[in-house]
Structure 1
């Protein structure tokens, strides 16, 4: 075996080094990394390695563990460092509210996490970065029109002091809307919006969910807005739920939708025709829309617990027929049943599984607070 082959073997063996964290990607925690940065000393998955390559070799020198040639001094450097050592250095002061991306998260989150760590070095200083200056953040984002569906620049103003997000159609005019961040969720939806920097904000307005669809041309800008919203909600939650540990509050700042997709729905009598609707499960709120990017859902349903009578079962009640070539299931909430059909068996099982998981989860104080707003 040549020396280069021996070096590759030693390098691959470092993936299993106890306590090193090398068996998962240093940035997104995906398993079985195939790449590494020879000057940062971290092991990476394929996708994160691509983002490292975009940083430039002056910041990160990316090499394949099994295909590229490694010199002995490079292997020794990787052995002396590794993912956990790098984490202590590059993630020294990550704020609790900051979103750590996972392997299935949108590219913009992963890319900006990597740039923040190794390029901008946002987390190596003595104090965490806050993303709000003097408790506020303001700037311009493209917003989709409620009626004309065109994206136009609008000024947004996030205020940590009164826990609101405002947006303006015209300068020096009253805001078009003032959104309490207590009722607000923010999530990235690049596929739904066909935009890599697309973000959806959902909040309660007059007892119903209102959806805003936003994007920035700059990936860093939209991620900064996202983390600024999380920071403001962290401050609010500390006030609203005193005594709750910060790590618990950080898990309930904003959330990705549990599941979205098309389902067929019929009316309560069984005589109505089936209509296709876009369903979004946002924690304990199930919404359905005419189209995926409508401003308002047709219906907004709070989902409680199994003990309260919330259930889901395969098939439809007697007297109801499934739409041809679909797979039916019934969602039961107190006082009503929804008869639904999915286009595939696996899709039906997936919806039933996630709904049952919601019903089996105990209500938190935050859940009960949201139920009655």
Structure 2
């Protein structure tokens, strides 16, 4: 969809650049820090100076092929770095467009684009960058980190994972259903932050499923010929998703196809898929083991919120976590007792749209973050600077041999409880 591309790929790029352009001078001023007592009393000064790291390597994914280059680029350029970019080989025309457009606006030593397939990406990841940012699958992220380790390159990894969506008993199921449907159907679920699975109270499962189905019908009354709804990226990923569904069915799950106009997808000869809700899931199924990255929504049930929290905590820490409900105490309990890269309450994905909030994962869902000032700091070297006064501070404190009374006095003061 042209509109969805503009909203989710182009607009975030422009917003990130505008935000950085407005604020980068104040970010770059550095910070005064307080010298250890009593050095500040006799003229010592401490500060942090932000310096460019140097050359930053950017490896971008196919699902948002413009934004996943340009949003981190806002922080990279604001911090004064140069950049080398490897777009995804799955979006060849976007990659070629970057290779054509970037030299018109940047000198090669400022920003350079490298196209190509797996071999090019592998060689790119082995370069001795001053920092590298990779967005993509956790499995590939492990290879990126290994390659970076050979040159001790610091990395920012945005990897995704299985982002849970917890529906509290107090949630408005119709409203939650529509918001979950929007987040799950956007880009056909091919978003690292898409709600990966639902957790709902057992006695409210049917109501919540109906809420999601109604949300899909309102947003996408038709699917096959509807330009607002996109396709799975290619046949390989289509087959992967169909394999997840077949595996779940074989292991006892109930599949609910959400197809508002009852269209014939089997005869469509394409890679579009309707949303499939999967009930009665368990951890033996691939839909509960792998990041789905497509229009499949497993539903788990819980008897108590503690049970839901325990399930989330027993699995890899996700990139996003979503809670729906009007019970603020319960929301705070979910947030305080779980760990995720970010979280949104009473919606999905939207914490990523906040330019002044850090965006990134934790554990298997990634490391490091960017966006706004946090991105500026990620791509900057925080250089500590101490300015010594003219006095012989070391001598006055007894830090110089031969050690004596001044030394004993300083040690006695600093080592007491």
Shorter-chain TM range is under 0.3
Higher normalized helix content (fraction of residues): 2
Higher normalized strand content (fraction of residues): 1
Please say which structure displays the higher CA radius of gyration: 2
Q: Structure 1 length normalisation: TM-score? A: 0.24
Instruction: Choose between structure 1 and 2 for higher RCO, CA contacts under 8 A separated by at least 6 residues.
Output: 2
Q: Structure 2 length normalisation: TM-score? A: 0.22
